[in-house]
Amino acid sequence: MRIGIDARLIHYSQAGIAQYTTHLVKSLAKIDSTNQYYLLQSRKETKPIVEARNFIRRGVWTPSHHSFEHYILGLEVANMGLDVLHSPDFIPPKRNPLARFKTVITVHDLAFLIYPHFLTKKAARYYGQIDRAVRRADHIIAVSKSTKEDIGRFLGVRDSKVTVIYEAANPVYKPMPKEEAWKKAHKLYPNLSRDFLLFVGTLEPRKNIPTLLEAYKILQDRYKLNEIKLVLAGSPGWLFDEIFQKVQDLNLEKDVLFLGRVPTSALVALYNAALALVHPAHYEGFGLPTLEAMACGTPVVTTNVSSLPEVVGDAAILVSPDDAEEMAVAMWRVISDEGLRDTLSKKGLNRAKAFSWEKAAKETLEVYRKVAGA
């Protein structure tokens, strides 16, 4: 087979979908030396994603998330002789009548349909093409059963057209001695306190950080745990000003530390040094930070909505995303009960082993074969 993978987004972003594409490509290179892969990268990106005989970098002119990209990219790939084209960023190109390739898309979540007020206008315009995209695609990969159910419920796609293939944590996320992790994290972030709760993710409305801040304030006022700080690791996103305003309103300026975007090596240390990860999201298609934390043996408190219970299983404490009181109690339990932390750590490590990029690559390759009729 000749398989194309749209990897243009990697040049513009290192966030979730770009990471998904990178790990998938690298894992496919490990398991498949037979099929021919064409990696569609931005012409500005000269470095190939992977070095392998059967993986060929193709520079393309079409920018990622361009208004007319489904037309222009369709023209660029028409003469590549592809059997299958995989679009990990939701939207497939319009097929040229002369091109006979099949299309596979990955749908990571439907937050833009369920919570449209959580999006920028630009993102809403781009992902607003999803209805046409799922009709045009020959097959759809969903990153969780929850997302597959959303695709059926909101877009009317039949079950047989959607395959669930779980993501996985980067293999670098693994346990390390707590003291070693603390020293490394403190060296990078001198303002870091010895004991802290951690949030990882883009600072945007969908992540529900204001409720986390309210819960943290309850934790301070009721349980007098003022030495426990809250660390937020992630880039500012859409409407992030509301988060900073909430910190001021609750008088938490001295207790909440914003780290901005954190490189992977530093994030490994932060996960391992933290008392727990608190992931209060309203909605996740998968919820990768919870899996990364579990892979490090870090206890997790997260919400009981969308895909999150599916990912963490019984290895985390689940709370309502709308109940700051319940969230505060869960955080207090993890902080105050060393036995509970140890139990959650062991369960999390076992749970994380159920997910791997090699498994994801094998299942994705099977989708390519099925769609191509190979």
Distances (CA, A) of 214 to 217, 237, 280, 339, 356: 5, 20, 11, 26, 35
Same domain, 151 and 182: no
Same domain, 92 and 233: no
Find out whether 198 and 233 touch, Cβ atoms under 8 Å.
yes
Residue 68, exposed/middle/buried by CB under 10 A (0-12, 13-18, 19+)? exposed
Q: How many helices (H) and strands (E) does the chain have?
A: 16, 13
Find out whether 253 and 219 touch, Cβ atoms under 8 Å.
no
Same domain, 368 and 337: no
Same domain, 300 and 194: yes
Same domain, 298 and 272: yes
Is pLDDT above 80 for 93?
A: yes
Per-residue pLDDT tens over the stretch 293-317: 999 999 999 999 999 999 999 999 9
Which residue range forms the structural domain that includes residue 219? 178-352
Residue 142 maps to a domain: yes
Find out whether 70 and 90 touch, Cβ atoms under 8 Å.
no
Same domain, 15 and 155: yes
Same domain, 147 and 186: no
Per-residue pLDDT tens over the stretch 3-41: 999 999 887 777 778 999 999 999 999 999 999 999 999
Per-residue pLDDT tens over the stretch 58-68: 998 888 877 77
Same domain, 218 and 362: no
Q: Which of 61-65, 202-206, 283-287, 325-329 has the lowest mean pLDDT?
A: 61-65
Same domain, 317 and 210: yes
Domain count, the chain: 2
Same domain, 333 and 266: yes
Q: CATH no. for residue 52? A: 3.40.50.2000
DSSP 10-79: HHH--SHHHHHHHHHHHHHHHH-SSSEEEEEEETT--S-S---TTEEEEEE-PPTT-TTHHHHHHHHHTT
Same domain, 321 and 335: yes
Residue 335 maps to a domain: yes
Within 13 Å, how many C-alpha atoms sit on residue 64's CB side?
A: 22
| pLDDT value for 184 | 97
Residue 189 maps to a domain: yes
Per-residue pLDDT tens over the stretch 115-172: 877 667 777 777 778 999 999 999 999 999 999 999 999 999 999 999 999 999 999 9
Both tokens assigned to 259: 């780290």
Residue 173 maps to a domain: no
Mean pLDDT for all residues in the chain: 93
Residue 220 maps to a domain: yes
| pLDDT value for 372 | 95
> How far apart are the C-alpha atoms of 161 and 164, rounded to whole Å?
10
| pLDDT value for 275 | 98
Residue 67 maps to a domain: yes
Give this prediction's pTM.
0.93
The average pLDDT across 205-229 equals 94
Same domain, 184 and 151: no
The average pLDDT across 206-218 equals 96
